[in-house]
């Protein structure tokens, strides 16, 4: 969103004009810049145009996304759906759902209820405290989502490229271990970010906000008071840019290419088997069954590849821009902030779209969903139950 980067300099997009002095102090400690970038009137115009509708759009997407991810969790944890892939997808649904749940109150407070203009009614101490917790937790859960997507790509590649090894090592128990390991390691890696923030306040009238001389506005900022704070900030910047952004994007790119190539090889093998099938009539049924299983595996891989690529498309620009924030002077204020809300909504949509992908691309998911939630149509449920039982018998461990 990264909401992690979005908050790295404190309520940046919303408060950049009023608190430019505060946020600029934080950003200039990154080191020697290799270049600078001028302010773009076009980007500022886009920011001004889009900001008033962002809160309403983001809140709507969050409501849909939280509900959709709850449905994902319910369906993926049914007995007939238990597999290593679905364990990872369940973890992904939990982290995505939490990301959107944390964003929803913030979108209402900072965009919808009090508008996008800084005020003592909107920027209260309670709101700033929530932002502080949000800036910490959103980074953790969103980073977990990123690395779970990498884990998903690795599991799927091993399973279809090395079936015997995949059947042995990419099982349900190891998937659970992988999910827990990702959550623990990411939380530890995010500790520098979690201790980098502080609350700040000032009289609103000092910034031309309101006429009440006693009104106070609150915000969060990155600690920058001591040498230790500066070192921690630099360390946190590179950790977030490399290990939370660029490295997982690089790995996702590699495994996406490998998955595509493996799918192409599998399709070639399937066509060869069909050719043999037409020659050896005695082997028609076994080869046909194998071919059907292969096509099902291909559909599952395509669905998971779609999940990975969508994640890659939304995260790669943020990773590149996060790195440029520290390399190009004023890039953060002149480029990243005007695009912050757009990056947010794209990431939110990606967090909530998996339910649609599962419903449209996985027959087993659809059947299970109908069985669980459409009990008011008994005939439909009875028919789906028979199909689900058949799917359970023929579906491999790592398939949705």
| Cα distance between residue 353 and residue 54, in whole Å | 18
Whether 178 contacts 147, CB under 8 Å: no
Question: How far is residue 289's CA from residue 277's CA, in Å, rounded to a whole number?
Answer: 11
Q: Which residue has the higher pLDDT, 261 or 177?
A: 177
Cα distance between residue 294 and residue 278, in whole Å: 17
At residue 200, the pLDDT reads 87
Tens digits of residue pLDDT in 57-112: 999 999 999 999 999 999 999 999 999 999 999 999 999 999 999 999 999 988 99
What does residue 216 show for φ and ψ, rounded to 5 degrees?
-125, 140
Q: What is the pLDDT of residue 278?
A: 54
Give 97-108 pLDDT, tens digit per residue: 999 999 999 999
Nearest-angstrom CA–CA distance, 2 and 341: 10
pTM for this prediction = 0.81
- Report the pLDDT value the prediction gives residue 287, as an integer from 0 to 100: 47
pLDDT at position 174 is 93
Position 390 scores a pLDDT of 44
| 218 DSSP β-pair partners | 201
- pLDDT for residue 374: 78
The CA distance from 331 to 54, in Å, is 22
Whether pLDDT at 31 is above 70: no
Q: Return the domain boundaries, the chain.
A: 3-28+39-361
Residues in the chain: 400
So what's the pLDDT on residue 202? Answer: 83
Domain over 3-28+39-361 is classified CATH 1.20.1070.10: yes
What is the distance, to the nearest Å, from the Cα of residue 147 to the centroid of all Cα atoms in its chain? 9
3-state helix, strand, coil in the chain (%, to 5): 80, 5, 15
Q: Each residue of 299-358: pLDDT tens digit?
A: 778 888 888 888 888 888 888 888 888 788 788 888 888 998 999 999 999 999 999 999
- 220: enclosing H helix or E strand: strand 216-222
Copy the structure tokens of residue 286. 């076994």
Instruction: Choose among 359, 337, 351: nearest CA to 48.
Output: 337
């Amino acid at each position: 969103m990264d909401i992690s980067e979005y908050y790295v300099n404190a309520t940046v997009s919303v408060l950049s004009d009023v608190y430019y002095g505060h946020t600029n102090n934080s950003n200039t400690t990154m080191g020697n810049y290799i270049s600078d970038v001028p302010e773009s009137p076009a980007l500022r115009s886009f920011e001004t145009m889009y900001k008033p509708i962002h809160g309403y759009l983001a809140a709507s997407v969050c409501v849909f996304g939280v509900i959709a991810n709850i449905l994902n969790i319910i369906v993926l944890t049914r007995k007939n759906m238990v597999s290593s892939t679905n364990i990872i997808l369940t973890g992904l649904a939990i982290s995505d759902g939490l990301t959107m749940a944390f964003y929803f109150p913030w979108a209402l407070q900072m965009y919808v209820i009090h508008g996008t203009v800084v005020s003592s009614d909107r920027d209260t101490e309670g709101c700033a405290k929530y932002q502080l917790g949000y800036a910490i937790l959103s980074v953790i859960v969103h980073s977990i989502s990123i690395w779970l997507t990498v884990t998903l790509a690795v599991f799927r590649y091993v399973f279809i490229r090395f079936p015997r090894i995949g059947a042995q090592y990419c099982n349900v128990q190891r998937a659970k271990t992988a999910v827990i390991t990702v959550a623990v390691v990411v939380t530890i890696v995010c500790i520098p970010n979690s201790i980098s923030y502080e609350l700040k306040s000032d009289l609103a009238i000092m910034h031309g906000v309101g006429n009440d001389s006693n009104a106070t506005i609150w915000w969060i900022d990155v600690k920058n008071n001591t040498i230790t704070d500066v070192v921690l900030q630099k360390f946190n910047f590179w950790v977030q840019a490399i290990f939370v952004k660029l490295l997982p994007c690089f790995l996702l790119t590699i495994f996406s290419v490998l998955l595509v190539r493996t799918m192409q090889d599998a399709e070639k093998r399937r066509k060869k088997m069909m050719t043999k099938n037409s020659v050896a009539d005695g082997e028609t049924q076994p080869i046909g069954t194998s071919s059907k299983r292969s096509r099902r595996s291909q559909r599952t891989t395509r669905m998971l590849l779609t999940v990975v690529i969508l994640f890659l498309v939304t995260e790669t620009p943020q990773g590149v821009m996060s790195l440029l924030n520290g390399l190009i002077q004023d890039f953060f204020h002149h480029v990243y902030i005007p695009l912050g809300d757009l990056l947010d909504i794209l990431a939110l949509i990606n967090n909530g779209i998996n339910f649609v992908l599962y419903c449209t691309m996985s027959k087993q998911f659809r059947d299970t969903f109908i069985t669980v939630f459409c009990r008011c149509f008994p005939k439909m449920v009875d028919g789906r139950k028979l199909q689900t039982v058949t799917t359970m018998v023929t579906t491999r461990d790592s398939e949705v």
